[in-house]
Amino acid sequence: MIATPAKNVFETNARDADENIFSDSRAEESRRVNNDPRERQPKPNQQPRRDKRDIHGWIVLDKPIGMTSTQAVAVVKRLFSAKRAGHAGTLDPLASGGLPIALGEATKTVPFVMDGRKRYRFTVCWGEERDTDDTEGEVVTASEARPTIEAIRALLPRFTGLIEQTPPRYSAVKIQGERAYDLARDGEVVELAPRPVEIHQLVLIEQIDNSRSVFEAECGKGTYVRALARDIGRILGCFGHICALRRTLVGPFGENDMILLEQLEALCNRAASGEGSLADALLPVETALDDIPALAVTRADAARLHRGQAVLLRGRDAPNSSGTVYVTVAGRLLALAEVTNGEIIPKRVFNLTGLTASAGRNEKV
């Protein structure tokens, strides 16, 4: 807890700050009146302000350990001077791996990535359960027992398929408008209800020693790998927590799509010096829509859809399916739409004016 400063010290600092503000204001006003050339010079150590730009596409950051997802988005947004940015699924600071970051119009496709499957490689340390279910927490229960490989493998089918899972106390789940981790950090008792999640695959891939096991899991939206480690450890009677975690797949984005922060910074520096293009780092907006059918339309129909008007297609141009599609014109993404009885109803229209992915990146590696 941060100690509250003494009142007299605070008041002294406040007065000093006020005096500095008024003094600086008077000096700046004098320079403006007298057309002082110093008024036009940047202040020492002040970086020139860069204008925000329209940049559209995906960056799949190989997030380093120790960085929050919010910090990662801020770094990428700054490197690209992008107007808008957001991520498609929080990754814990302890974890590394794929953090898809949407820039510009790609933010409209974030839900499609978040609803996709995720794959994790993680290490469980046996013998201790911690309040955060990972190495950052305090030990709450301990055991000298250690599980056998046979016991672990025999248990895994119970955690495969549709299961009930209670999220960790330190999670982003909201309780009456408050994040569970905020309540837990304030010392409040956090009671979270179990909820259904789907585990498509859970495999023991390595037994490092009798205290550490490495797993790989492929799961659906809302699954907490930390909770998996906690629950498996409880049933085995040895307790456990996550001591290493890496995300290797998020929706359509795999490890081949990831870029290290150092590589991204180097690319941005080369682009700033004219030796490359920021577009080379981007994946197209429509990469997030891999599981959705594409529907090409004429320029005349595209103009109507762009204005938010529905289009009725007949004859050979009529779509032979219904549901969500992404609409293209001349190979360029135009809109997300619903198709019903041959009618295309636009739901989200894209305006891709600005920087987009290089043509060579329209096909994933």
Rounded Cα distance, 332 and 352, in Å: 9
Rounded Cα distance, 160 and 289, in Å: 27
Which are the catalytic amino acids?
92
CB 227 within 8 A of CB 165: yes
Percentage helix, strand, coil for the chain under 3-state DSSP, each rounded to 5: 35, 30, 35
Residue 358's Cβ-count burial label (10 Å; 0-12, 13-18, 19+) is: middle
Amino acid 125 reads C
Mapped onto helix, strand or coil, the DSSP state of residue 319 is: coil
Mapped onto helix, strand or coil, the DSSP state of residue 95 is: coil
Determine phi and psi for 242, rounding to 5 degrees: -75, 130
Rounded Cα distance, 82 and 281, in Å: 14
Q: Residue 14 CA to chain centroid, in angstroms?
A: 39
Sign of torsion over alpha carbons 184, 171, 176, 73? positive
CB 230 within 8 A of CB 242: no
